[in-house]
């Protein structure tokens, strides 16, 4: 028997896509929209508890934050004062410890000298010379004192770039101290200390913020550079060197106060024992006086 059904149209499969394009919104959504138009919107009543809860949480958070801020400020005023007090306390403790270390070092040195007095006279003399040359032992003798200070009425900002002389203006920076120290080494100084801090081959003069450091110890102005050696030779050598010309320039150009005076006797402290991490003994010690340079 032949099939009497009408042939299917080729575009019949497109009817579903056509319906979707004509009516993209689901009938259920349309019915819900018509229902909302006919009845009052209950949404505001449902949101009231959420708004109240949010308000309560915000108030609690604000109260806790205020309590935390008050708790942080109560112990000692502002953070700057607390930091200054802490630094002062720790510095005093470090000074006391350094004095105790110096006392113990003196006792150890005395015991060593007693042990080597009879059979080790040569070793004892070598040890003394090396301690003097390296800066480990305290020394005394004539020399000169170079004093560096800021210009009168200096208003240069603290913490500016120490490499920028124009920005620093009328302040003494670490570079000035480095040049003066290297000039004294070049003039023949045998031992140098800056504000009581003995310089050695391991010492470094640098800046941290607005402070000048020798090693890890901050210095206070004025900066007194004490150098032991022939006073006349030191003064003449410094004046003829490039360091002397530089100091004269910053004194004239920026108003820094620079003064060089003779001293009949200077007492420089020892830097204590030094730990070498990379240097190794490569030969017999030289007889010439060691004059370490400070990195610029």
What is the edge-to-edge ordering of all strands in the sheet holding 139-149?
A: 197-198, 191-194, 223-228, 139-149, 257-268
Residue whose structure tokens are 């209950």: 42
pLDDT category, 47, cuts 50, 70, 90? low
Return the pLDDT at 273: 65
Return the pLDDT at 289: 45
3-class SS letters over 187-202:
HCCCEEEECCEECCCC
First CA to last CA across the chain, in angstroms? 112
Average pLDDT over residues 152-166: 58
pTM (whole model) above 0.75: no
pLDDT category, 295, cuts 50, 70, 90? very low
Average pLDDT over residues 238-262: 93
pLDDT category, 54, cuts 50, 70, 90? confident
pLDDT digits (tens, 9 = 90+) for 277-291: 777 767 665 544 444
Average pLDDT over residues 248-272: 91
For the stretch 72-108, what's the b/e string if a residue is b when 16 or more beta carbons lie within 10 angstroms of its beta carbon?
A: eeeeeeeeeeeeeeeeeeeeeeeeeeeeeeeeebeee
pLDDT category, 35, cuts 50, 70, 90? confident
Instruction: Answer yes or no: are the C-beta atoms of 146 and 225 closer than 8 Å.
Output: yes
Q: What is the helix, strand, coil percentage profile of the chain, to 5?
A: 50, 15, 35
pLDDT digits (tens, 9 = 90+) for 202-225: 888 998 877 899 988 889 889 999
Among 62-76, 119-133, 249-263, name the one with the lowest average pLDDT: 62-76
Among 50-54, 148-152, 291-295, name the one with the lowest average pLDDT: 291-295
Question: In this model, does residue 159 exceed pLDDT 70?
Answer: no
List, in order of start, the domains of the chain with CATH numbers.
17-74 (no CATH), 141-268 (3.30.70.1880)
- For the chain, give the mean pLDDT: 77
Question: How much of the chain, in percent, has pLDDT values that exceed 90?
Answer: 29
The token duo for 176 is 């000035």
How far, in Å, CA of 242 to CA of 180, rounded?
A: 10
CB atoms within 10 A of CB 28: 8
CA 247-291-276 angle, to 5 degrees, is 125
Average pLDDT over residues 220-248: 94
How far, in Å, CA of 164 to CA of 207, rounded?
A: 13
pLDDT digits (tens, 9 = 90+) for 60-118: 888 888 777 666 555 555 677 788 788 888 888 888 887 787 788 778 777 777 777 76
């Amino acid at each position: 028997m032949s099939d009497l059904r009408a042939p299917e149209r080729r575009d019949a499969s497109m009817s579903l896509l056509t319906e979707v394009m004509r009516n993209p919104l689901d009938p259920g959504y349309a019915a819900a929209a018509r229902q909302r138009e006919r009845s009052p919107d209950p949404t505001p009543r449902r949101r009231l508890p959420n708004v109240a809860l949010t308000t309560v949480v915000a108030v609690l958070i604000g109260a806790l934050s205020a309590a935390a801020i008050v708790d942080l400020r109560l112990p000692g005023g502002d953070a700057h004062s607390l930091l200054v007090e802490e630094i002062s306390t720790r510095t005093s403790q470090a000074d006391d410890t350094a004095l105790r270390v110096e006392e113990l070092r003196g006792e150890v040195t005395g015991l060593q000298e007693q042990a080597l007095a009879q059979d080790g006279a040569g070793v004892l003399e070598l040890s003394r010379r090396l301690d003097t040359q390296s800066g480990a032992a305290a020394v005394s003798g004539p020399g000169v004192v170079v004093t560096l200070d800021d210009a009168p009425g200096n208003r240069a900002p603290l913490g500016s770039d120490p490499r920028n002389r124009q920005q620093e203006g009328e302040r003494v920076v670490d570079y000035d101290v480095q040049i003066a120290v290297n000039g004294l080494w070049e003039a023949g100084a045998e031992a140098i200390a800056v504000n009581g801090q003995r310089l050695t081959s391991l010492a470094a003069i640098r800046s941290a913020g607005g402070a000048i450091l020798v090693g890890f110890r901050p210095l206070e102005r004025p900066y007194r550079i004490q150098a032991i050696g022939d006073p006349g030779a030191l003064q003449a050598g410094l004046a003829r060197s490039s360091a002397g010309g530089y100091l004269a320039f910053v004194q004239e150009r920026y108003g820094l106060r620079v003064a060089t005076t003779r001293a009949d006797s200077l007492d420089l402290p020892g830097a204590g024992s030094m730990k070498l991490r990379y240097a190794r003994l490569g030969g017999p010690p030289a007889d010439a006086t060691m004059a370490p340079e400070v990195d610029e």
